[in-house]
Amino acid sequence: MSCAKSQPAATTHNKETFVHIAYLDDSGSDRGSPIAVVSALLVSPDIEFRKIGSSVGSVVQDLIPENDLEKFEEFHAFELYHGDGAFKNIDEPARFKAIKELLSVVATFKLPIIYSAVDKKKLAKTAVGGAIPIDVAFRMCALGFEDWMSANDEHGLGLLIMDDTKDKELRNAINHSFQILRSALRPPNWDAELYHIHDDMYFGDSRYSFGIQLIDLCTYFIVRNLKKHDDEFYRIISSQVICSKAEPDWTQLKGIFLEHSEH
């Protein structure tokens, strides 16, 4: 999508390299959804990782009956919001309280959320209309993470961990896009788009990752906001939500991207 950026050759410096983890989730891969979204929850090295996990664990312990704790695996935003799956027998006030507490973890630790949203119909009418919408959103989201890294930690390293999918075509497309954007950093042309990002991305199992579960929840309410739902839940994280506007793609393809509104 973007033209490669020319990067200067690496120089020796005394600064320590820190790793920033971006947990990614997607929404709208089904044909019935008009919007394709990929979002990333950023956890920086100055954040006490274990405290986030403990906070999420406390919500689980308060919400799930003691007899069901051993078989409980993970939060799914849709199920938690609507009372399906593991939350079928839990009343709405308790579920909504849990949602607020989980989103408050994101707010309390001030974790940035970078996203890209693609209007599928508008994409289909462009010269790149044959592209997979989720893949387009992924590329733009990844470039947004790169922009964030450039602005916030010039010498840092970003690592992408995306919720795994059983859709092999989509998984291969995303992995291929990452390799194109990341490319090999070799002299004399340091031209990777994702210059600050680790040389491989990873697909994680959401059952074992509270980061993926949290971004699943955030993505759910970002999508609701994009669909013009005025959620009290979205307002908890709205100040941390960042729409990726990586150039030149944002300007060249702006008509296909959607931007959230702050309430």
The domain spanning residue 29 has which CATH number?
Answer: 3.30.420
Range of the domain at 254: 19-47+113-258
Residue 67 maps to a domain: no
What does the pLDDT read at residue 190?
62
Residue 86 maps to a domain: no
What does the pLDDT read at residue 115?
98
What does the pLDDT read at residue 6?
42
Residue 78 maps to a domain: no
Residue 74 maps to a domain: no
What does the pLDDT read at residue 15?
63
Report the domain count for the chain: 1
Residue 69 maps to a domain: no
Burial of 80 (0-12, 13-18, 19+ CB in 10 A): buried
Residue 70 maps to a domain: no
Residue 77 maps to a domain: no
What does the pLDDT read at residue 189?
58
Residue 137: closest CA among 60, 29, 218: 29
Q: Return the axis-axis angle of helices 49-63 and 210-226, rounded to nearest 10°.
A: 70
Q: pLDDT 10s per residue in the chain (263 long)?
A: 444 444 444 444 456 778 999 999 999 988 889 999 999 999 998 888 889 989 998 998 899 888 888 788 888 999 999 999 889 889 999 999 999 999 999 999 999 999 999 999 999 999 889 999 999 999 999 999 999 999 999 999 999 999 999 999 999 999 999 999 988 666 655 667 898 999 999 999 998 999 999 999 999 999 999 998 888 999 999 999 999 999 999 999 878 999 998 65
How far apart are the C-alpha atoms of 244 and 145, rounded to whole Å?
Answer: 8
Residue 41 and residue 204 in contact, taking contact as beta carbons nearer than 8 Å = no
Residue 5 maps to a domain: no
Residues 6+ apart with CB under 8 A from 30: none
Q: Write a three-state SS string for 116-169.
A: EEEEHHHHHCCCCCCCCHHHHHHHHHHHHHHHHHHHHCCCCEEEEEEECCCCHH
Q: Is residue 190 classed as helix, strand or coil in its secondary structure? A: strand
